[in-house]
Amino acid sequence: MRFGAALAIAGAVLGVPAWGAPARVVSLNVCTDQLAHLLAAPGQLISVSALAHDPRSSAYADALADIPANGGGAEEVVLLEPDLILAGTFTTRATVEMLEGLGHEVALFPPVTSLSQVTEHMARMGALLGREDAARNLIAAFEAGLDRTPPLPDGPRTLLYYPMGSTAGRGTLADALMEAAGLTNIAAEMGLSYGTLQLEQAVLAAPDLILTPAPYARPTRATDLPGHPALRAVAPLRRIEAGAAWSCETPALLQAIADLRALAEDAR
Amino acid sequence: MMRAVTLAALSALVVLMIGASLLVGYAPLRPGPALAALFGQGDPLTVIVMQDIRLPRACLAAVVGAALGMSGAAMQGLLRNPLAEPGLIGVSGSAALGAVIALQTGLAGAFALALPLTALVFAAGAVALLLLLAGSRGGSLTLILAGIAVSALAGALTSLVLNLSPNPYAAAEVVFWLLGSVADRSMEHVSLAAPLILAGLAVLALTARGLDALTLGEDAAEALGVSMARLRLQVLVGTAAAVGAATAVAGAIGFVGLVVPHLLRPLMRARPGALLAASALGGAAMVLAADLAVRLILPDRDLKLGVVMALIGAPLFLHLIFRTRKELA
């Protein structure tokens, strides 16, 4: 009994997973990569998706650089002999079914669409990895961070304009972040969820501020659109430099909210 | 007389289509304020929509259509074959490949005209290859087979280059380069393409007399003082410049150069020289009309211009092949 308690304490100090927790965790999705990395004991997460190493999509690319990447194929994953596989609900259906069919435990995480879901996912990941204490700490720090930055009063009416004219409105994480920062989202105002906004409609919505992602290295027509002269003539156009912070359920979201507030204040 | 009337009617049609293209859009604007906004009057947002979005779109549709229509007429005149068309025989596809390579290698950023010039070089390569393969007699079978090969290769290489791009949107881009669109292009694109297109059209206009003489056969044309080598070079350079520049900013739009000369040939009394100007006007009107259809039929689905053109052009192409087969039989 005492031995067990001592072991548990030693485990907590050294950061080893609890008894019965999966020792070899493989992640196939860029969001589960990051969340598992934040909560896992050293050595518990043995493989992450290739996107985890790309700073454009992963806010923890540097920290994850030491963990080998997998290509997401069932064959490759099986050879890693995982105890637990983490995947997104948009991970290739065939791969997930194949892995489940081979008797592996696969935990699926849907993309987060609200801030309350963020803490739910943190708690769930903690339970899956046997790292409940670490999850409690992460959630407490995240909620304290949210309380420290109240929404801006009277923020600008903002248009999020992605390549190919797509935008994000109601029921999206981007909208939740804008709300937390105090910005009015034009797409939500128009009743759009994920959708596209024609250039003409975007101009006539008379935004105070337009936010677009940072461009990719190789230009395409799709990623050119947010740079159209008509948009530049309507409102200040700002680039979201740290786009990776926006997409996953990690404390990097606090940085995204802080960046949004800074962009909004800068555009006044 | 008939020709002059036709040309006047086509000019009026182009003006009408440009007007319609300016007044029809995704946002409902009333015609009065919209036209005032075109000249900078009224609500500043409407002014931006009219001057920065709809005007470049209409201008681009018109010059791209003119380029494709006139190139089609010139190639058909030179090869004396109604199936020669920049889209069908891979000239547009090759130009698109050049444009994609220029964009993806960063060459397009080197100097302003790098993008249309690269497209021009690739288009010229395709035209030269076709002139070589189809030969002076312009056999239909050789022309079509060579066209299929060049189109397929150019399309595959375009897709390959885009698949290898680190930009995740590059794969979605394949559709644009294979089907073409003038949506959301800006005045920058117009100023990039228009000078080269107009230069190409001017070179093609020089071929009118030669093409007319060529209807009598190559020997008769030479006897009339037409240099065949020069005529071929003019068609090659003019087509490459016009189609190359058009494709560099609007993607590969097919069938315009096939449909337009075919429709106008009877009105021009089968004179290839006169058909050049008529096809330029007709091409402009046709692309403007197709672009209007894109906006009216499925306004929120980003329908591609090339889809509408193929829906009009493909049945006509089959009809032409059918007729050619009967003539051969």
Asked if B173 and A220 come within 8 Å (Cβ–Cβ), the reply is yes
Q: Does B252 touch chain A (CB under 8 A)?
A: no
Asked if A204 and B166 come within 8 Å (Cβ–Cβ), the reply is no
Q: Considering CB atoms only, which of A196, A198, A223 is closest to B169?
A: A223
Asked if A217 and B48 come within 8 Å (Cβ–Cβ), the reply is no
Q: In this structure, how many other beta carbons lie within 10 angstroms of the beta carbon of residue B270?
A: 10
pLDDT band at A123 (very low <50, low <70, confident <90, very high): very high
The per-residue pLDDT for B72 is: 95
Higher pLDDT, B261 or B103: B261
Q: Does A93 touch chain B (CB under 8 A)?
A: no
How far apart CA B63 and CA A224 sit, in angstroms, is: 22
Q: How many CA atoms lie within 13 A of B235 on its CB side?
A: 33
Higher pLDDT, B167 or A199: A199
Asked if A218 and B26 come within 8 Å (Cβ–Cβ), the reply is no
Higher pLDDT, B144 or A111: A111
pLDDT band at B302 (very low <50, low <70, confident <90, very high): confident
Do B88 and B258 form a contact (C-beta atoms < 8 A)? yes
The per-residue pLDDT for B329 is: 59
Q: Which residues of B208-236 are buried (b: 16+ CB within 10 A; e: fewer)?
A: bebbbbbeeeeeebeeeebebeebbebbb
pLDDT band at B110 (very low <50, low <70, confident <90, very high): confident
For residue B104, the chain A residue with the least C-alpha distance is: A218
Do B87 and B255 form a contact (C-beta atoms < 8 A)? yes
Higher pLDDT, A52 or A8: A52
How far apart CA B239 and CA B111 sit, in angstroms, is: 23
pLDDT at B25 over 50: yes
pLDDT band at A2 (very low <50, low <70, confident <90, very high): very low
C-alpha A239: how far from chain center: 18
Do B70 and B280 form a contact (C-beta atoms < 8 A)? yes
- The beta strands (E) that lie in chain A are given as 25-27, 45-49, 69-70, 84-88, 106-109, 157-160, 166-168, 184-185, 194-196, 209-213, 237-240
pLDDT band at B141 (very low <50, low <70, confident <90, very high): confident
pLDDT band at A221 (very low <50, low <70, confident <90, very high): low
The per-residue pLDDT for A1 is: 39
For residue A228, the chain B residue with the least C-alpha distance is: B186
In a domain, B26, yes or no: no
CATH of domain A2-145: 3.40.50.1980
Looking at residues B60-67, what average pLDDT do you find? 97
The per-residue pLDDT for B97 is: 95
Provide the shortest C-alpha distance from residue A163 to chain B (in Å). Answer: 8
Q: List pLDDT tens digits, range A227-257.
A: 788 888 888 888 887 778 888 999 999 999 9
pLDDT band at B139 (very low <50, low <70, confident <90, very high): low
pLDDT band at A18 (very low <50, low <70, confident <90, very high): low
Across the strands, what pairs with A86? A27, A107
Q: Considering CB atoms only, which of B53, B170, B187 is closest to A200?
A: B53
Indicate the domain borders of chain A: 2-145, 157-266
pLDDT band at B176 (very low <50, low <70, confident <90, very high): confident
Which A positions 155-184 lie with beta carbon below 8 A of chain B? Answer: 163-165
pLDDT at B205 over 90: yes
Provide the shortest C-alpha distance from residue B164 to chain A (in Å). Answer: 11
The per-residue pLDDT for B82 is: 84
In a domain, B173, yes or no: yes
Q: What residues contact A94, with CB distance under 8 A and at least 6 apart?
A: A74
Cβ-based burial of B54 (10 A; exposed 0-12, middle 13-18, buried ≥19): buried
Looking at residues B10-39, what average pLDDT do you find? 92
Topology of domain A157-266 in CATH is Rossmann fold (3.40.50)
Return the HEC string of B109-129.
Answer: HCCCCHHHHHHHHHHHHHHHH
How far apart CA B309 and CA B178 sit, in angstroms, is: 12
pLDDT at A13 over 60: no
Which chain B residues are within 8 Å of A200, Cβ to Cβ? 25-27, 49, 53-54
Asked if A229 and B45 come within 8 Å (Cβ–Cβ), the reply is no
Share of chain B above pLDDT 70, in %: 97
Do B63 and B285 form a contact (C-beta atoms < 8 A)? no
Asked if B169 and A219 come within 8 Å (Cβ–Cβ), the reply is no
Cα dihedral value A234, A239, A244, A245, nearest 10: -80
Share of chain B above pLDDT 90, in %: 50
pLDDT band at A223 (very low <50, low <70, confident <90, very high): low
* Mutation for testing the B interface, residue in A53, A198, A212, A221 having most B CBs under 10 Å: A221
Q: Does B43 touch chain A (CB under 8 A)?
A: no
Q: List pLDDT tens digits, range B234-270.
A: 999 999 999 999 999 999 998 999 999 998 998 888 7
How far apart CA A210 and CA A173 sit, in angstroms, is: 17
Q: What is the ipTM of this complex?
A: 0.72
Asked if B53 and A222 come within 8 Å (Cβ–Cβ), the reply is no
Q: Do domains A2-145 and A157-266 have the same CATH topology?
A: yes
The per-residue pLDDT for A217 is: 66
Asked if A198 and B300 come within 8 Å (Cβ–Cβ), the reply is yes
* Mutation for testing the B interface, residue in A90, A194, A218 having most B CBs under 10 Å: A218
The per-residue pLDDT for B134 is: 73
Q: How far is CA A135 from CA A75, A173, B311, in A?
A: 31, 21, 58
Provide the mean pLDDT of chain B: 89
Q: Considering CB atoms only, which of B53, B108, B165 is closest to A203?
A: B53
The per-residue pLDDT for A165 is: 84
The per-residue pLDDT for B11 is: 97
pLDDT band at A11 (very low <50, low <70, confident <90, very high): very low
Provide the shortest C-alpha distance from residue A148 to chain B (in Å). Answer: 36
Looking at residues B89-95, what average pLDDT do you find? 92
| Length of chain B, in residues | 329
In a domain, B179, yes or no: yes
For residue B164, the chain A residue with the least C-alpha distance is: A218
Q: What residues contact B30, with CB distance under 8 A and at least 6 apart?
A: none
Q: Considering CB atoms only, which of A204, A222, A233 is closest to B169?
A: A222
The per-residue pLDDT for A10 is: 46
CATH number of the structural domain spanning residue B224: 1.10.3470.10
Higher pLDDT, B31 or B327: B31
In a domain, B31, yes or no: no
For residue B99, the chain A residue with the least C-alpha distance is: A220
pLDDT band at A12 (very low <50, low <70, confident <90, very high): very low
Asked if A220 and B170 come within 8 Å (Cβ–Cβ), the reply is yes
Asked if A218 and B188 come within 8 Å (Cβ–Cβ), the reply is no
Q: In this structure, how many other beta carbons lie within 10 angstroms of the beta carbon of residue B285?
A: 25
Say which range, B110-124, B164-178, B277-291, has the weakest mean pLDDT. Answer: B164-178
* Mutation for testing the B interface, residue in A203, A212, A216, A231 having most B CBs under 10 Å: A203
pLDDT band at B148 (very low <50, low <70, confident <90, very high): confident
Q: List pLDDT tens digits, range A51-62.
A: 999 888 899 999
The per-residue pLDDT for B328 is: 62
pLDDT band at B135 (very low <50, low <70, confident <90, very high): low
Q: What residues contact A220, with CB distance under 8 A and at least 6 apart?
A: A163, B103, B162, B165, B167, B169, B170, B172, B173
- Domain count for chain B, please give it: 1
Tokens of A268: 């006044």
Share of chain A above pLDDT 70, in %: 90
pLDDT at B157 over 80: yes
Asked if A222 and B173 come within 8 Å (Cβ–Cβ), the reply is yes
Asked if B186 and A228 come within 8 Å (Cβ–Cβ), the reply is yes
pLDDT band at A4 (very low <50, low <70, confident <90, very high): very low
pLDDT band at B136 (very low <50, low <70, confident <90, very high): low
pLDDT at A176 over 90: yes
Provide the shortest C-alpha distance from residue B109 to chain A (in Å). Answer: 10
Which chain A residues are within 8 Å of B173, Cβ to Cβ? 220-222
Provide the shortest C-alpha distance from residue B26 to chain A (in Å). Answer: 6
The per-residue pLDDT for B145 is: 85
Tell me the residue range of the domain where B235 lies: 60-328
| Angle made by CA atoms B65, B66, B69, in degrees to the nearest 5 | 80
